[in-house]
Amino acid sequence: MPNYRRAWVPGGTYFFTVTLRNRNADLLVREIDLLRQVIGRTKRRHPFRIDAWVVLPEHMHCLWTLPPGDADFATRWKAIKSGFARDTFLPQGDHLTDSEWLRGRRGIWQSRYWEHLIRDETDYRRHFDYIHINPVKHGLVTAVKDWPYSTFHRAVTQGIYPVDWAGDPSLDVRAAERPGA
């Protein structure tokens, strides 16, 4: 098994990408209320600050800041992913391996997620912008303001963005993508 190297920085700010196993699904937006409940429940048990978040049909990006002295984002993701999978009514598919079935997996999520430790203010801003432009990038809307499952609306209220920010679909925004993505 590969040796995944994670950066564990107490009180750190992290960018995450979490993806459903089925990249053609719409489960996250279809079950958005449940997802919000599970995230809220997780935040009460294991506090963290949500700096930015966007939920798309089959994946989500977010920017979190952990409390001082706490670097355990893995427990939070485990709670979110398992809570959502447990509480989502889905017929049990035959796409699970025997070991997944025995371990009680539902097969909803890709087994891993991608995380990036934010290094400085420029890095933070690039990822913050990337999160909010993502629905436009994926062709789900032509203006960021039109996507309902995003902290963009909160950022507008806070004066971070104007309401018409990034309304031009011809923009080529690759703020947080890995090279070649």
Residue pair 149/32 in contact by the 8 Å Cβ criterion: yes
pTM value? Answer: 0.84
Query: Regarding predicted confidence, which is higher, 4 or 109?
Result: 109
38 is a domain residue: yes
132 is a domain residue: no
85 is a domain residue: yes
Tokens 């893995």 identify what position? 74
1 is a domain residue: no
Q: What's the DSSP call for residue 118?
A: -
Residue 7: pLDDT band (50, 70, 90) is confident
pLDDT tens digits along 59-89: 999 999 999 999 999 999 999 999 999 888 6
Give the chain's domain count: 1
Classify residue 76 by burial, with Cβ atoms within 10 Å: 0-12, 13-18, 19+. Answer: buried
pLDDT at 94: 38
142 is a domain residue: no
Q: Does 5 have pLDDT greater than 90?
A: no
Domain range enclosing 109: 13-120
Residue pair 14/64 in contact by the 8 Å Cβ criterion: yes
137 is a domain residue: no
Element (DSSP H or E) covering residue 49: strand 49-55
Q: Kindly report the CATH number assigned to the domain that includes residue 51.
A: 3.30.70.1290
CA distance 26 to 91: 15
CA distance 79 to 69: 20
pLDDT at 136: 96
pLDDT at 27: 94
CA distance 106 to 112: 14
Active site residues: 149
Q: Across all residues in the chain, what is the average pLDDT?
A: 87
Nearest by Cα to 40 from 50, 27, 30: 50
Angle at 67 between CA 62 and CA 72, to 5 degrees: 70
pLDDT at 1: 44
174 is a domain residue: no
CA distance 38 to 84: 6
129 is a domain residue: no
pLDDT tens digits along 87-139: 886 655 435 555 655 555 557 999 889 999 999 999 999 999 999 999 999 99
Query: Regarding predicted confidence, which is higher, 173 or 11?
Result: 11
109 contact partners, CB below 8 Å, separation of at least 6 = 18, 19, 20, 21, 81, 85
Q: Does 6 have pLDDT greater than 90?
A: no
